[in-house]
Structure 1
Amino acid sequence: LQRQQKLQAKFGNSVGVLLSRVSQFSIFLQASATNVAGGQAVFGGTNAGASPNNNVQFPQQVSLFYAGEVTPHIGSFLHLTYSGGGSGSGGGGFSFDDSSIVWTHPWKLGTNNLLVTGVDVNNTPTAMDLWNTTPDWQAPFFTSDYSSMGHVPQPFIVNSAGAAYPVAGLGAYAADIFGPNKANWLYADADVYTNAQGIQANPVGGFANFNGGPNGRLSGAAPYVRLAYQHDWGNWNWEVGAYGMWSSVYDSPNTKTGPIDQLNDYDLDTQLQWLNINDNNNLTVRAAWVNEQQRFGAGNNSSSLSSGNLNLFNLNATYWYHDRYALQGGYRNVWGSANPGLYNNPNTNFTYSANGSPDTSNEWIEASYLPWWNTRFSLRYVVYNKFRGVGAPSSSTSGYGASSYNTLELLAWIAY
């Protein structure tokens, strides 16, 4: 990247203000139209203000960004979003989306060795990551609020993507870029998260969770650790990494007392990428497996078990042709311990779960067109093999089957 021109104000011999001549503010609009094969009734009913099917959100959300250098060595990525809400969600409002403030410093350790270290404050686990394999940045990158994908049980750390939980984290990171042509990257990040209040739609309540999981607030601190390695050769690069997060969560929403659930999340992920910069073509293949070990507090009001597990495997690929046309697709599989109290809870929007099973698998395909680099239109279709334990339709599921949750989405975003 070219060094940006600066505006500065001096006070004597010192510089008091140093600002970029290029605006660091941006605005982003998303819109969607959604059709679910069985209509919104498959989620236990139609939300107030929503149609039984074919729901249009315009806009679905509007985001404001401030990103870039604030002072020498200090930068920020601030993301404020207005969302109108959707299926399984409450009313709309402004909230801070995934955001961070970072202090960083480069250290030249030799001809072929650059070490970058930093300290950060952020509000989303995995927000500081560099790859599209972690929950905050994984594909599919944008879904409708009325999509079936938002109703699938997921591990705690995956649910936290997009600043979904009212938490704040303080951490440190280091990236060592070394070897001939600086072709090797070694990245480490460690953060500690705790409850926080701020600008959000539900600043004092529990975790807004509509896919069958513990939904209280954190009890104490939740540590997060990330390690990853990337090697570059020619037009190719390959990453392999792992992370872990250990969270104690109050079982009941809107409280900091009572039974506590322990949710320990572990990940293995990898990404293979081909970049043809001269011809603006690229291919990226990503895979991630998250395993959550669960221990539920005695006397809790949701789980039928004292312990269990939940797994998510996400395999996806993206191909861009001349930065104008894209084809994406993937396979997602969720499986874990059957838990009727947790995954068939009458307090959620879900009625149908075979034996309280979280097991869900789907394939999805998406085609995108960019008439301009800041405008994107996409069409996605999601096919379910199993949905919350439901396969073929039966009388016990009121005639619904996995195919009842198949979803067609028309998506659009414009950024400026």
Structure 2
Amino acid sequence: MPSPQASIFAAKVAWPRLATAILLLSALTLIAWPARAVPSFAVQTGQPCQDCHVGGFGPQLTKFGREFKLEGYTKRAGGFTLPFSAMAVASYVRTRENQSAPPAAGFKRNDNLGLDQVSLFVAGGLGSHLGGFVQTTYDGIGKTWSWDNLDLRAVTKTEIKGVDVIFGTSLNNSPGTQDAWNSLPAWGFPYTRSALAPSPSASPLLAGSLAQKAIGLTAYAWINSEFYVEAGAYRSPSQTNLSRLGADPFSPGDIHGLAPYGRAAFQTDLQGGTLELGVFGMRTEINPGRDRSTGATDRYTDLGVDASFIRTLESGDVVTVNGRYIRERQELRASCILSGGSGACADTRLNDLRADASYYWRNKIGATVAVFDTFGPANPVIYPGAPNFKPDSSGVTFQLDGTPFGDGTSPFGPRANIRVGLQYTLYTSFDGARSNYDGAGANASNNNTARAFLWIAY
């Protein structure tokens, strides 16, 4: 393990490189992207990005932004606007030690600079009842195009015994994408990440494994801007359709039948801010790798609780706190049979705990601290790569970012926005252990990752 003096020296060397990378990324992006504005939700509402997003940049929503989403993206300030927008994210990534292999073809084992993604959107409202967005993304690391987030809504407003109620439906392709709070995995911190950085292997199914691999329809009610209830179900598109859409149809497999999803939340004003408390859950049966030869399935039961708090101070500074806990029961009978294991390996648990807190000065310059802990019992069949056969990974992520034009003052027009940031992720355990987690002498801290990113939107 490197000495403390060596670690300090490495940090002194790495951070100037990060600063240089930010300048290079900024220059490259301004050259590559012409200064033109493309209409989006900001143009439709006539509001600057700060009104909908904490820090003046997505996806963390303010109270106003949540209402806009729950109202089906239909609020507008004037007449028709072209519902197109685009964004790009680029990164410089450095890990404490070289990775065992390059993270992708064409990259090095360390010190990588890459274009993470370019996304195109059709996003807007149509009349007072229909709205949504469709996103397609170019993966600059894998060098492939695919469909990305989808959320199409139909809503209506009514009054029941003097209480305002919004009824809505959402057609979406990732459980939680339709949610209005940033405490669930779909829109949780970190809001941007890179495939160039190492990441733990184990996570709950509801934490993104089904993103762009499923299609679902849910119905919800938003009562008096306080109570939220939602229910629906998901299924898998065909192997052919997923392949055409650029998604991997075999990982984690296809949903057997329908997977029910439920969500409830309560939101109220508290201490000058807004507090949300919620529960959510999903039950999914999977044919792993679309293999039906065993006559069995893998069953996942995800149950979670979440909380969120946001407050804007008199100075204009914004404070946010988000947290969630997911407990997943796994009954992996098909995977056990395919692995040649006995039935004893099938029943296990996975726990996932996350929390983050942010402070945004003048809603432009922000600092975020996030902690994460994924843990569960040992299982030599499900986690054969770890010396102790456990899924445990934990650590802390720090982020500093700035969004100078979130108030709509960009020299390229009110529809252009940019965020520049630094992230540092410190691992206290990784894929089962703190030290020698891979059986080849690698320590969790070897994966500590510094990342500089540039995120632009038009």
Q: TM-score range by the shorter chain?
A: 0.7 to 0.9
Q: Give matches, 1:113-262, under 5 Å.
A: 113-149=163-199, 151-160=200-209, 164-177=211-224, 185-196=226-237, 197-198=241-242, 200-202=245-247, 205-207=249-251, 215-233=252-270, 235-251=272-288, 253-258=289-294, 259-262=296-299
Distance in 1 of aligned mates of 2:455 and 2:300:
35
Q: Give matches, 1:66-81, under 5 Å.
A: 66-81=122-137
Quickly say closer, same or farther: Cα 1:372–1:3, change in 2 above 3 A: closer
**2:381 — aligned with what?**
341
Q: Partner amino acid for 2:427?
A: Y
Distance in 2 of aligned mates of 1:2 and 1:93:
30
> TM-score, normalising length from structure 2?
0.75
* Selected match of 2:327 from 249, 269, 291: 291
1:18-54: CA deviation from partner (whole Å, max 9, x where unpaired):
x94333211000011111112221xx66543221111
* Selected match of 2:395 from 326, 339, 362: 362
**Does the 8 Å CA contact 1:250/1:257 hold for their aligned counterparts?**
no
Say whether residues 1:318 and 2:355 are aligned partners.
no
Distance in 2 of aligned mates of 1:202 and 1:2:
31
Question: Paired residues, what number?
Answer: 367
* Selected match of 1:82 from 138, 146, 159: 138
Q: Partner amino acid for 1:174?
A: A
Percentage of identical aligned residues: 27
Distance in 1 of aligned mates of 2:340 and 2:281:
23
1:57-100: CA deviation from partner (whole Å, max 9, x where unpaired):
1x210111122212441112111111133xxxxx4322221211
Q: Tell me, what secondary structure is at the counterpart of 2:159?
A: strand
**Does the 8 Å CA contact 1:261/1:296 hold for their aligned counterparts?**
yes
Gaps of 5+ in 1: 6-18, 86-90, 178-183, 208-214, 345-351
Q: Tell me the CA shift for residue 255 of structure 1.
A: 3.7
Say whether residues 1:53 and 2:110 are aligned partners.
yes
Q: Tell me the CA shift for residue 110 of structure 1.
A: 5.3
Gaps of 5+ in 2: 1-41, 47-77, 407-416
Q: Tell me, what secondary structure is at the counterpart of 2:326?
A: strand
Structure having greater relative contact order (Cα 8 Å, sep ≥ 6): 2
**1:36 — aligned with what?**
95
Q: Partner amino acid for 1:294?
A: Q
* Selected match of 2:346 from 303, 306, 309: 306
**1:266 — aligned with what?**
303
1:185-244: CA deviation from partner (whole Å, max 9, x where unpaired):
1001111100113553236x212xxxxxxx221111100000000101463111110011
Q: Which one has the bigger helix percentage?
A: 2
Distance in 1 of aligned mates of 2:290 and 2:298:
15
Q: Which one has the bigger strand percentage?
A: 1
Q: Partner amino acid for 1:283?
A: V
Q: Tell me the CA shift for residue 148 of structure 1.
A: 2.4
Quickly say closer, same or farther: Cα 1:406–1:369, change in 2 above 3 A: same
Q: Partner amino acid for 1:391?
A: R
> TM-score, normalising length from structure 1?
0.82
Q: Tell me, what secondary structure is at the counterpart of 1:301?
A: helix
**Does the 8 Å CA contact 1:104/1:117 hold for their aligned counterparts?**
yes
Q: Tell me, what secondary structure is at the counterpart of 1:31?
A: strand
Q: Partner amino acid for 1:206?
A: F
Q: Tell me the CA shift for residue 343 of structure 1.
A: 2.6
Q: Give matches, 1:90-105, under 5 Å.
A: 91-105=142-156
